[in-house]
Amino acid sequence: MGSLKLRNRFVMAPMTRNFSPGGIPSEGVAGYYRRRAEADVGLIITEGVGVDHPSAVGRETMGGGASPVLHGEETLARWREIVAGVHEAGGLIIPQLWHQGVIRVPGTGYHPDAPSARPSGVWGPIDKAMVPPEYLELVREPTAPLTDSEIGDIIAAFVRSAVNAKAVGFDGVALHGAHGYLIDSFLWRHTNMREDRWGGGAAERAGFAAALVRAIRSATGPDFPIIFRFSQWKLQDYDARNAETPGELEAMLAPLVAAGIDVFDASTRIFTTPAFEGADMGLAGWIRRLTGKPTIAVGGVGLSKDLQSSFAQPTVMTDNLSLVADRMAQGEFDLIAVGRALLMDPQWVSKMRHGGEVKPFRLDAYATLD
């Protein structure tokens, strides 16, 4: 993967944890990640980490309020401890750099006075939103669109955080370009209606993401891996599409490839869901075919229900790795990310390889650092 060699193809998917009061990962976070590395996870992608910008993180639909950041002496010291523990266990770890963008509730976070960061000032359509009504009331009012100067400041914030990641020993960085957050809100036509250089067709709407990647690549060097998380679905609409056709998807991702992306993380609710009509191939497969870059598939591995359904319907742990292996053998994707199954059982990968009873699905796992 870029300059890295992984010990296997299992990736720990990024999952919001909210155990970082004041933006500083709590002492339990080091053990949380190390336990997964000790149990054969090939690559760990951390929870979303707020970039060095006042508007980066705040309250959002998952609660927020205790998300980590990647700046400040005490914070960086804690991240060094976390990275060192994963490396001592034989693993690799990459932070997911995150700016909540339109999803952040105005007036919340570590800098509540920071204005909202929205490409066109709108949260997006609300008729299909899979979020609580009380949250919608807090975000539905339009705000001022980002200015050119403000966009430049945010790009600089991502760069500072990426440089900090390299300085504390992380093995690369991942950019959260999915699910309706800031980068994704530039990609989606319903939240990016700009008529300047940051808006327009599929390729033009990718301009902000490409500028981020170029700036990070320039600051961190040619051998520092950059992963980009991409999705069609978003919190505003689970059926949304940034790209309606393979051609539109290719046009949108080509600028990111040219800017220096090493790997695409294709976030789907179920990894086997066809990305486009007329073909069974999932989103990771299409991205791999159209860009020539390695891809990570994610969504529903090891569980009987997708993420949203698992909060409301009976959910059990299941072994669907034969389907993963079949798709991987066909060249559809290169790596498989596992989220909730690893949240339920730190030993999940090891048990899948060597045998052993996997811990059951439980909702209280979201409130602990097992």
Residues serving a catalytic function are 181
State how far the Cα of 349 lies from the Cα of 42, in Å rounded to an integer.
9
Burial of 72 (0-12, 13-18, 19+ CB in 10 A): middle
State how far the Cα of 61 lies from the Cα of 234, in Å rounded to an integer.
12
Contacting residues for 278 by C-beta, under 8 A, at least 6 apart: none
- Backbone torsion region of residue 368, taken as left when φ is above 0, otherwise alpha when ψ lies between -120 and 50, otherwise beta: beta
Q: Are 165 and 158 in contact (CB under 8 A)?
A: no
Give the angle subtended at the CA of 45 by the CAs of 44 and 49, to the nearest 5°.
140
Contacting residues for 57 by C-beta, under 8 A, at least 6 apart: 23, 48, 50, 64, 67, 69, 98, 99, 100, 104, 109, 110
DSSP letters spanning 92-113? -EEEEEE--GGGSPTT-SSSTT
DSSP letters spanning 232-271? EEETTBTT--S-SSHHHHHHHHHHHHHHT--EEEEE-SST
Q: Are 104 and 57 in contact (CB under 8 A)?
A: yes
State how far the Cα of 81 lies from the Cα of 76, in Å rounded to an integer.
9
